[in-house]
Amino acid sequence: MRSLLLRLSRQSSRQLLLALWVALFCSYALTAVLPPWISQPLATAVAFVALFGYPLLVVFGLPTEYTTPLARRVSLAAFAVMIVTCVLSIADPSRFPSAAQHPTLRILSGALALLLLSPFYLATHALGEARRSLGRYKPLDSLGTFLSLMYFPFGGVVFVQRTVREVIERGAPNSDGSIPNADSV
């Protein structure tokens, strides 16, 4: 994951945004040509990567000084829940009870929503730790980072990409807290 994040960090935010939208439009165009049993999973996969790919890549690609093993396990669990949710969405919805009808299902659906959004929270925390190590953290900076990650396909990449590039180029902090320069990495 780190090598993929390194490769993406070398791209400009415009290039990433353009590639993302080209992939979204191509998958949309393929839905008109391909049969639904092929086009729907393809479009779901592309939309999944467009929405959740970059936060998951940040959580798994940044050095371990910024993301904990627990954060990576929670993100992996969220990824597994997303896959199961996508697979279950193919099933007939009339066979499953509505969450609005059962209070227990309401609570479970709220917990599921928090789990599904956890990669965004964890990536925000990791980028906040990275900004602190770079000496560029400002109060309430995490709010802008969270919104940028949530709206990544709609231009949020512009605000996040510079920090990711700097962190990847400089590397992880040393044990004494100093940050190596890009030449020593």
Residues 43-89 have pLDDT tens digits of 878 888 888 888 888 888 888 888 888 889 988 888 888 788 777 66
Query: Cα(185)–Cα(181) distance, rounded to whole angstroms?
Result: 7
Contact 167, 130 (CB under 8 A): yes
Query: Cα(54)–Cα(72) distance, rounded to whole angstroms?
Result: 14
Q: Is 3 helix (H, G, I), strand (E, B) or coil?
A: helix
- Backbone Cα Rg of the chain: 19
Is 0.85 topped by the overall pTM? no
Query: Cα(66)–Cα(122) distance, rounded to whole angstroms?
Result: 10
Q: 106-115, long-range: CB within 8 Å, 24+ apart, which pairs?
A: 112/81, 112/85, 115/74, 115/77, 115/78, 115/81
Quick one: what percent of the chain has pLDDT higher than 70?
Answer: 83
Domain boundaries, the chain: 2-90+99-172
Residues 106-146 have pLDDT tens digits of 777 778 888 888 888 898 888 888 888 888 778 888 888 88
